[in-house]
């Protein structure tokens, strides 16, 4: 986070009305994947917990409860896998806020942002480290979450193939039961579910908290894709400097103004002056 | 002719195994090996032509349970045939000889039948403290195994202990016990895990070897696929109750009396592979799950450590006490995060009130100076 953005954040309330723009941050694949993952984790958790401890005992003839629950679990597992694969593709094809770089703590700026965000959460700092996309700490957290997603997918496929005995699937996943015995694969698969639940609590809370702090329509953005942010703040976002054009959708004058700023920025072309000229050195 | 090289059918007949018993045995072996029935002729022919192969049975750190399993099998008369089919030159539990005579026999077999005899190993091999925890006739188990198994035509490790160290190797493993394959790397071993081995499988491996002059197809643990290729769960007679969602929840409850699925009682059928449900025990009449007890995955790798506790769904979490399950820890994590979040929410509200009172600039007052132009 640079000084310009911080100063914007500090004076963000109230922001002069003419500087506000709508930014298309979360593209539709990101939003769809988000909600598919949310729904599939919900279904997988419920059915998965039932597979661990079948708390409903069925009665009478013709029951097929466990079989049905397993079927739902397996189908939603593949939906989950498909959603992850789409997201993995979008790490490389998506817009600047969907790209892989957003999720890794590369460079001093990202690290400082993550530390500042941590200090914010620990009440050691008043201002959160806001970004147009994910803040650095959130990005790093999602890397952990995606790692857990991969762990769930791998252990899940290995357990699935333990019953399926498919040579094709075995070719891809057969190495895993070699490394970790099936019972421990089950245990890992089960335990990671609780971490997802814990993450879910934190995720809802932090989205709500940041939405209030930033007044950016953060919670709504995962439905609509748009955030409402000051134009300067968008222009000063580290991700914006790396991108070619501005994906700003809003009043035409705001867009033109941003383009002018970007052109001026290129002309300045000093390494240290890689941000808009206004407000850059307070 | 030396009794070592007697023709097999003649030897069997002399010992009272009728032709009928012999054919019955052959058909059992063909079905155990999952061969098509047309192989029946081939097996009968091969076994009739074979000279009795020499077999030595080594016992190391074991409970003799695999020997018991072998000699107590009665119908179909597997033990009868197998004991007569092979020339058992050395087997500590059942041989008549003792002391120097017995050891001399083993020595003679290794020398004279080099590369021709079958070695069966039962029990684990200790390696800690130079293997002093199991010595026979003044030699360590490791020493004996090295000599006997490297000179054998085929090695069969029967039971969990000989395969992976079994109970002896279970944590904390004071004797440094390991299985035959690890103790004598380089020799070809067919592992017949299980606690104990199922004698039908062991006999089938020997019959396969005598008929086709090679070992049956093996899995990644060198266990024959015909015996260890299928999930117990998939062959279980209680499987219908599992799919229906009818589970035993307590020993002796309604479900227990009605023969419902033992999944909730910690049955490891969904994890373990073995042909237990089809080959069965006690004259083919039963097996643990049929008798009303869950499977403990006795044919799984290092099952004492990795499949226990036997009455719980999931194994013990490493680093935690035996009473703490993965579920307990999981709920602990969720609860902690929920608690911290609630406290943080209260803190955030207080902070927000405070900064509103102090004015918009107050929050930034304590900020240390940062480089104004971070690197792109």
For A194-234, the pLDDT digits (tens) are 999 999 999 999 999 998 888 888 999 999 888 888 877 77
Please name the residue that has the structure tokens 């922001």. A15
Helix/strand/coil (H/E/C) assignment for every residue in B92-134: CCCCCCCHHHHHHHHHHHHHHCCCCCEEEEECEEECHHHHCCC
Q: What is the predicted pLDDT for the residue at A280?
A: 43
Looking at beta carbons, which residues of chain A come within 8 Å of B329? 191, 194
Taking the whole predicted model, whether its pTM rises above 0.90 is answered as no
Is B253 part of the contact surface with chain A (CB cutoff 8 Å)? no
Which DSSP symbol is given to A226? Answer: E
Split at pLDDT 50, 70, 90, the class of B220 is: confident
Q: Where are the domains of chain B?
A: 3-227, 230-337
Looking at beta carbons, which residues of chain B come within 8 Å of A186? 271, 313-314
Q: What is the predicted pLDDT for the residue at B199?
A: 87
Is B239 part of the contact surface with chain A (CB cutoff 8 Å)? no
Distance, in Å, from the CA atom of A270 to the CA atom of A276, rounded to the nearest integer, reads 12
Helices (H), A94-164: 107-121, 136-164
Least confident of A36-40, A59-63, B54-58, B87-91: A59-63
For B106-151, the pLDDT digits (tens) are 999 999 999 999 999 999 999 999 999 999 999 999 999 999 999 9
Instruction: Determine whether the interchain pair A241/B376 forms a contact, defined as Cβ–Cβ distance below 8 Å.
Output: yes
* A184 part of a folded domain: yes
Q: What is the predicted pLDDT for the residue at B365?
A: 36
Whole-number mean pLDDT of chain A?
Answer: 83
Q: What is the predicted pLDDT for the residue at A94?
A: 85
- What's the mean pLDDT in B164-189? 93
Number of Cβ pairs closer than 8 Å across A and B?
154
Q: What backbone phi and psi angles, to 5 degrees, belong to B120?
A: -110, 130
- What's the mean pLDDT in A146-156? 97
Q: How far does the CA of residue B307 sit from the closest CA of chain A (Å)? A: 7
Distance, in Å, from the CA atom of B58 to the CA atom of B36, rounded to the nearest integer, reads 33
Give the domain B3-227 fold: Rossmann fold (3.40.50)
Whole-number mean pLDDT of chain B?
Answer: 87
For B336-368, the pLDDT digits (tens) are 999 999 999 999 999 988 887 775 543 343 333
- What's the mean pLDDT in A83-106? 91
For B245-290, the pLDDT digits (tens) are 999 999 999 999 999 999 999 999 999 999 999 988 887 888 999 9
> Which of B307, B331, B367 is the closest to A183 by Cβ?
B307
> Could you give the percent of chain A with pLDDT greater than 90?
51
The yes-or-no verdict on residue B59 having pLDDT over 80 is yes
Which DSSP symbol is given to B53? Answer: P
CATH assignment of B230-337?
4.10.480.10
Q: What backbone phi and psi angles, to 5 degrees, belong to B189?
A: -125, 135
How many other CB atoms are there within 10 angstroms of residue A35's CB atom?
Answer: 13
The yes-or-no verdict on residue B46 having pLDDT over 90 is no
* A8 part of a folded domain: no
Q: What is the predicted pLDDT for the residue at B192?
A: 95
The yes-or-no verdict on residue B11 having pLDDT over 60 is yes
Is A260 part of the contact surface with chain B (CB cutoff 8 Å)? no
- What's the mean pLDDT in B292-319? 91
Instruction: Determine whether the interchain pair A126/B344 forms a contact, defined as Cβ–Cβ distance below 8 Å.
Output: no
Split at pLDDT 50, 70, 90, the class of A9 is: very low
Split at pLDDT 50, 70, 90, the class of B76 is: low
* Element housing B178 (H / E): strand B177-178
- Of A13-17, A113-117, A255-259, B76-80, which one has max mean pLDDT? A113-117
Instruction: Determine whether the interchain pair A10/B360 forms a contact, defined as Cβ–Cβ distance below 8 Å.
Output: yes
Is A158 part of the contact surface with chain B (CB cutoff 8 Å)? no
Instruction: Determine whether the interchain pair A162/B231 forms a contact, defined as Cβ–Cβ distance below 8 Å.
Output: yes
Tokens, residue B366: 């304590």
The yes-or-no verdict on residue A281 having pLDDT over 50 is no
Split at pLDDT 50, 70, 90, the class of A251 is: very low
Split at pLDDT 50, 70, 90, the class of B74 is: low
Range of the domain at A134: 94-214
For B193-204, the pLDDT digits (tens) are 999 998 889 989
Instruction: Determine whether the interchain pair A69/B245 forms a contact, defined as Cβ–Cβ distance below 8 Å.
Output: yes
Instruction: Determine whether the interchain pair A57/B314 forms a contact, defined as Cβ–Cβ distance below 8 Å.
Output: no
- What's the mean pLDDT in A239-263? 58
Looking at beta carbons, which residues of chain B come within 8 Å of A237? none
Instruction: Determine whether the interchain pair B373/A2 forms a contact, defined as Cβ–Cβ distance below 8 Å.
Output: yes
Q: How far does the CA of residue A209 sit from the closest CA of chain B (Å)? A: 8
CA of A109: which chain B residue's CA is closest?
B374
The yes-or-no verdict on residue A248 having pLDDT over 70 is no
Looking at beta carbons, which residues of chain A come within 8 Å of B367? 125, 127
The yes-or-no verdict on residue A106 having pLDDT over 80 is yes
> Could you give the percent of chain B with pLDDT greater than 90?
61
* A183 part of a folded domain: yes
Complex prediction ipTM? 0.85
The yes-or-no verdict on residue A282 having pLDDT over 50 is no
Cα-based distances in Å from B300 to A19, A261, B229, B279? 67, 68, 12, 17
Is A124 part of the contact surface with chain B (CB cutoff 8 Å)? no
Least confident of A233-237, B53-57, B312-316: A233-237
Which B positions 154-213 lie with beta carbon below 8 A of chain A? none
The yes-or-no verdict on residue A240 having pLDDT over 50 is yes
CA of B268: which chain A residue's CA is closest?
A183
> Which of A54, A201, A212 is the closest to B264 by Cβ?
A54
Is B245 part of the contact surface with chain A (CB cutoff 8 Å)? yes
Looking at beta carbons, which residues of chain B come within 8 Å of A54? 245, 247, 263-264
Cβ atoms B56, B90 nearer than 8 A:
yes
Q: What is the predicted pLDDT for the residue at B77?
A: 64
Strands B87-91 and B118-122: unpaired
Looking at beta carbons, which residues of chain B come within 8 Å of A209? 345, 348
CA of A9: which chain B residue's CA is closest?
B364
| pLDDT top residue among A258 and A198 | A198
Total tally of structural domains belonging to chain A: 1
Q: What is the predicted pLDDT for the residue at A259?
A: 65
Instruction: Determine whether the interchain pair B334/A194 forms a contact, defined as Cβ–Cβ distance below 8 Å.
Output: yes
Q: What is the predicted pLDDT for the residue at A258?
A: 65
Instruction: Determine whether the interchain pair A241/B344 forms a contact, defined as Cβ–Cβ distance below 8 Å.
Output: no
């Amino acid at each position: 986070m640079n000084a310009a953005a911080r100063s914007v954040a500090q004076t963000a309330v109230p922001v002069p009305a003419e500087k506000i723009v709508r930014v298309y941050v979360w593209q539709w694949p990101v939003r769809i994947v988000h909600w598919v993952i949310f729904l599939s984790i919900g279904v997988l958790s419920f059915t998965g917990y039932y597979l661990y401890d079948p708390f409903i005992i069925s009665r009478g003839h013709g029951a097929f409860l466990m079989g049905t629950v397993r079927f739902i679990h397996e189908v939603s597992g593949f939906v989950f896998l498909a959603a992850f694969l789409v997201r993995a593709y979008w790490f490389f094809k998506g817009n600047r806020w969907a790209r892989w770089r957003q999720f890794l703590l590369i460079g001093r700026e990202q690290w400082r942002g993550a530390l500042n965000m941590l200090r914010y959460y620990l009440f050691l700092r008043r201002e959160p480290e806001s970004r147009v996309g994910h803040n650095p700490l959130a990005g790093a957290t999602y890397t952990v979450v995606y790692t857990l997603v991969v762990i769930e997918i791998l252990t899940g496929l290995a357990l699935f193939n333990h019953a399926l005995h498919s040579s094709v699937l075995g070719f891809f996943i057969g190495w895993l039961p070699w490394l970790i015995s099936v019972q421990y694969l089950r245990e890992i698969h089960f335990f990671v579910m609780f971490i997802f639940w814990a993450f879910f609590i934190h995720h809802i809370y932090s989205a709500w908290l940041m939405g209030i702090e930033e007044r950016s329509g953060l919670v709504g953005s995962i439905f609509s894709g748009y955030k409402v942010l000051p134009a300067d703040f968008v222009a000063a976002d580290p991700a914006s400097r790396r991108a070619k054009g501005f994906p700003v959708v809003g009043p035409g004058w705001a867009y033109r103004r941003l383009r002018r700023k970007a052109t001026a920025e290129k002309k300045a072309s000093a390494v240290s002056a890689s941000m808009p000229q206004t407000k850059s050195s307070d | 002719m030396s009794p070592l090289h007697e023709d097999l059918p003649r030897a069997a007949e002399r010992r009272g195994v009728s032709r009928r018993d012999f054919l019955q045995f052959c058909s059992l072996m063909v079905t155990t090996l999952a061969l098509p029935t047309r192989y029946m002729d081939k097996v009968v022919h091969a076994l009739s032509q074979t000279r009795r192969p020499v077999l030595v049975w080594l016992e190391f750190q074991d409970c003799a349970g695999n020997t018991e399993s072998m000699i107590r099998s009665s119908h179909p008369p597997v033990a009868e045939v197998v004991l007569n089919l092979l020339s058992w030159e050395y087997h500590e539990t059942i041989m008549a000889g003792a002391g120097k005579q017995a050891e001399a026999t083993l020595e003679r077999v290794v020398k004279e039948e080099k590369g021709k005899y079958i070695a069966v190993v039962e029990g684990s091999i200790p390696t800690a403290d130079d293997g002093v925890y199991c010595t026979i006739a003044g030699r360590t188990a490791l020493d004996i195994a090295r000599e006997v198994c490297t000179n054998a035509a085929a090695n069969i490790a029967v039971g969990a202990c000989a395969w992976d160290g079994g109970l002896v190797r279970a944590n904390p493993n004071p004797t440094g016990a390991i299985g035959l394959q690890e103790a004598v790397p380089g020799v070809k071993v067919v592992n017949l895990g299980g606690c104990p081995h199922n004698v039908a499988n062991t006999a089938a491996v020997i019959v396969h070897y005598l008929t086709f002059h090679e070992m049956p197809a093996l899995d990644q643990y060198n266990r024959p696929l015909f015996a260890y290729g299928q999930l117990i769960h998939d062959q279980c007679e209680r499987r219908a109750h599992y799919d229906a969602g009818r589970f035993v929840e307590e020993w002796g409850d309604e479900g227990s009396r009605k023969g419902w699925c033992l999944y909730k009682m910690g049955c490891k059928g969904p994890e373990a592979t073995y042909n237990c449900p089809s080959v069965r025990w006690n004259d083919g009449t039963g097996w643990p799950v049929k008798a009303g007890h869950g499977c403990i995955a006795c044919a799984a790798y290092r099952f004492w450590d990795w499949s226990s506790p036997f009455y719980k769904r999931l194994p013990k979490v490493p680093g935690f006490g035996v009473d703490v399950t993965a579920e307990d820890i999981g709920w602990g994590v969720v609860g902690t995060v929920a608690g911290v979040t609630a406290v943080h929410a209260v803190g955030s509200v207080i902070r927000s009130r405070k900064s509103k009172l102090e004015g918009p600039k107050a929050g930034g007052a304590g900020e240390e100076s940062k480089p104004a132009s971070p690197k792109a």
